[in-house]
Amino acid sequence: MKHDFNELRLDRVTRRFAGAGGHAFNALNDLTLTVRRGEFIALLGPSGCGKSTALNCIAGLMPLSSGTIRLDDTRIDTLPPERRGFGMVFQNYALFPHMSVGKNIGFGLRMRGMAQSDAAPRVAHALRLVQLTGQEHKLPGQLSGGQQQRVAIARAIVIEPPLILMDEPLSNLDAKLRLETRSEIRRIHRELGRATIYVTHDQDEALSLADRIVVMKDGVVQQIGTPEEVYAQPANIHVARFMGYRNVIELAVTGERDGHVTLEASDMKLTGVRKLPLDGKRAAVAIRPEEITIATEPAATNVIGGRVDNVEYGGRDSLVEVVTATGTRLHVRAGGKVSTGANVFVHVPPERVLVYPSEMQ
Amino acid sequence: MLSAQARTPGFDRALLLVVPAALFMLLLFIYPFVYGLVLSFEPKEGGWLANYHKFFTTGNLWPTIGTTLKLALPATLINVFVALPIAYKMRVKSRWQRWMTTLLVVPITLGTVLIAEGMLTYFGPRGWLAQFLQLTHLYGGAIRLTHNYWGVLISLVISGFPFAFLLILSYITGIDPVLARAASTLGADPKAQFRHIYLPLLGPGLAMCFCLAFVQAFSVFPSAVLLGAPAGPTRVISIAAYEAAFEQYDYSLASAIAMIMGAVQLVIVAFVLSLRGWFYKGPVTGGKG
């Protein structure tokens, strides 16, 4: 077990499961990724995309079907979890119910044969780090969910692992606690500077925590990039949809010049930016609700007329659904007051319209 | 009407469902017990403690406690502590689990008498085991596994093991496997996972399983008669009670023996259950499910 490393290299890591009727399917397909020292990586994707499988493979809780994992020059994918020495935080905390908070946190040190007198200050330090000083004699069952998850984090970091793995650690917490614990995870990561791989299905969590995001779908990596890249330049329509581009519309391509594409349907005419080479006469455009503005009159280009069908009030702004003449539904975030049933025009700047190959082809 | 009643914390009519069971207990357990207890203090001759005095001074009565304990305690220990590792190995769902469970559970469906019958044929001096060992020249000596202590012990293991196994298996599978996984990421190898996670969480369950298995083994009767030497080494306490009741027609003495039998069981059970205090007794999951 090393204390720190330069690179964790995952090379074509694949995990196959026997599916229904004896058909094997790849829960994780050729994941190739290099994690650098101190880096915070988020594995992001919908449930069933293989992100937890990837984490379990790295932790050693699940054998690989093929591929290798190397920590610098040491191959580790054949080692059992107890010899990899990575700290792991589980979705349902997985605290040992029969041990006090202090014993839980000290468990990893005890397994390493550390004397009680050496372990105690480190446990105390970990407790301070997660702001639970004074709770060490309680049983996990006496703590709230948020506190339990913080104990789980303390238990994982007290062994000073080279790599910390977190499997949707916030998904069992309520909204307020989730935000608090999120900041806490960020703070702890800054303080310890340990590489972290964080699994989540929540793009906000991934964007706010990670240095780099790995977006996955159906066991396949769709994009690896910084939060800015993934947010503003989704590599494909799946990533776009997952990163909050709620409006995905199939249109006919009418022209293409210098990376700008014009597209058309009977009730709208749009100009957008081509993100991938287009093949064929149709394409899909992706637009975020917050990039669309509601206009009162048809001024410039990229204007679509429609009727307000639904308004969800959200405080600072409202989520408005606008339906066009042919029934295409557009999701719009609007600041002003919009009433249901009103006829409106919506406008979106051409550089905010991302054009991808059609999914139908 | 009903909802109003449900809201007030008064008498819940659903509790009436307990009545048949309570009556049943009263009629079939408490009444006979009290009857027996009173009867044991009304000996054929002598003072009210004469039966107990007789039991503890008669040469073929009081040693039956030791004889029974000598059978029941090892049998229970074997059952519980052999079932534990097997159940631990089988905690993970596998192709073999169902077959193994079925195989191990079959004896529970057989009566003691059937097991005794089978054992007489199999383990007897001219049984299959003896013939097989002689045929293969593995062991030429006499095989004495029936009509003695060993016969009864083996039969107690055969009939008691599935019970202990099923009970422990259900305790083990109730422990969230993610706890062991968490322990492994913290550096606990499988042995340490068992010692630090499974064993402490199983403690109360093991104590309970020990008690149930012990009570079952302590009241051994058919196999002690059929497979043992009921006049000598396997003259267990239930045989003494049977003889008093149905050979000497001294129901009063038989009741006293039954009471002593119950008291011995109670002492052992109370002792084992008191050990549970050392263990954690809460839910065995590691957080929200």
Sorted by where each begins, the domain ranges of chain B are 61-278
CA gap A105, A127 in Å, rounded: 8
The confidence score (pLDDT) of residue B1 equals 46
The confidence score (pLDDT) of residue B5 equals 47
pLDDT digits 0-9 by tens, B144-174 = 888 889 999 999 998 899 999 999 999 999 9
Angle at B223 between CA B217 and CA B228, to 5 degrees: 110
CA gap B65, B72 in Å, rounded: 10
CA gap B239, B225 in Å, rounded: 8
CA gap A245, A222 in Å, rounded: 15
Chain B contact set for A90 (CB, 8 A): 178, 181-182, 286-287
Q: Examine the pLDDT at B7 and tell me if it is beyond 60.
A: no
Assess contact for A237 and A284: CB atoms under 8 A. yes
Name, in order, each residue with C-beta under 8 angstroms of A251's C-beta and a sequence gap of 6 or more.
A263, A264, A265, A268, A270, A282, A283, A284, A285
What is the arithmetic mean of pLDDT over A305-317? 90
The residues that bridge with A33 in the sheet, in sequence order, are A10
Assess contact for A155 and B186: CB atoms under 8 A. yes
- Which of these, B35, B57, B46, B106, lies nearest to B259 by C-alpha position? B35
The confidence score (pLDDT) of residue A24 equals 82
The confidence score (pLDDT) of residue B9 equals 65
Chain A contact set for B187 (CB, 8 A): 82, 85, 108, 111-112, 159
For A245-357, give the CATH class: mainly beta
Q: Examine the pLDDT at A335 and tell me if it is beyond 90.
A: no
For chain A, the 3-state helix, strand and coil shares in percent, each to the nearest 5, are 30, 35, 35
Provide the pLDDT confidence category of residue A361 given band limits of 50, 70 and 90: low
Cβ within 8 Å, pair B196-A95:
no
Assess contact for A207 and A227: CB atoms under 8 A. yes
CA gap A5, A41 in Å, rounded: 15
Cross-chain CB nearest to A82 (options B187, B196, B287): B187
Cβ within 8 Å, pair B185-A86:
yes
pLDDT digits 0-9 by tens, A51-72 = 999 999 999 999 999 999 999 9
Q: Examine the pLDDT at A2 and tell me if it is beyond 60.
A: no
The confidence score (pLDDT) of residue B212 equals 94
Asked if A172 reaches chain B (Cβ–Cβ under 8 Å), the answer is yes
CA gap A222, A213 in Å, rounded: 10
Percentage with pLDDT > 70 across chain A: 97
Place of tokens 């468990």: A107
Cβ within 8 Å, pair A141-B192:
no
Cβ within 8 Å, pair B179-A86:
no
- Which of these, B5, B69, B57, lies nearest to B219 by C-alpha position? B69
The confidence score (pLDDT) of residue A1 equals 45
Q: What separation in angstroms does the CA of A53 have from each of A22, A49, B18?
A: 20, 9, 49
Name, in order, each residue with C-beta under 8 angstroms of B88's C-beta and a sequence gap of 6 or more.
B172, B194, B198
**Residue B53: other Cβ atoms inside 10 A:** 14
CA gap B267, B65 in Å, rounded: 13
CA gap B182, A173 in Å, rounded: 20
pLDDT digits 0-9 by tens, B106-144 = 888 888 888 888 888 888 888 888 888 888 887 777 778
DSSP three-state, residue B136: coil
Assess contact for A145 and A177: CB atoms under 8 A. yes
Q: Examine the pLDDT at A329 and tell me if it is beyond 70.
A: yes
Delimit the domains of chain A by residue range: 7-239, 245-357
What is the arithmetic mean of pLDDT over A128-149? 91
- Which of these, B151, B268, B164, B266, lies nearest to B220 by C-alpha position? B151
What is the arithmetic mean of pLDDT over A152-179? 91
Strands A163-167 and A293-295: unpaired
For B61-278, give the CATH class: mainly alpha
pLDDT digits 0-9 by tens, A73-89 = 899 999 999 999 899 99
pLDDT digits 0-9 by tens, B173-191 = 999 999 999 999 999 999 9
The confidence score (pLDDT) of residue B180 equals 94
What is the arithmetic mean of pLDDT over A185-200? 93
Place of tokens 């058919």: B222
Element (H, E) at B226: helix B222-226
Average pLDDT, chain B: 88
Give the domain A7-239 fold: Rossmann fold (3.40.50)
Query: Which range has the worst mean pLDDT, A247-261, A285-299, B188-202?
Result: A285-299
Cross-chain CB nearest to A112 (options B182, B187, B288): B187
- The values of phi and psi at residue A37, to 5°, are -55, 130
Q: Examine the pLDDT at B70 and tell me if it is beyond 70.
A: yes
Asked if B279 reaches chain A (Cβ–Cβ under 8 Å), the answer is yes
The confidence score (pLDDT) of residue A280 equals 79
Asked if B288 reaches chain A (Cβ–Cβ under 8 Å), the answer is yes
Provide the pLDDT confidence category of residue B230 given band limits of 50, 70 and 90: confident
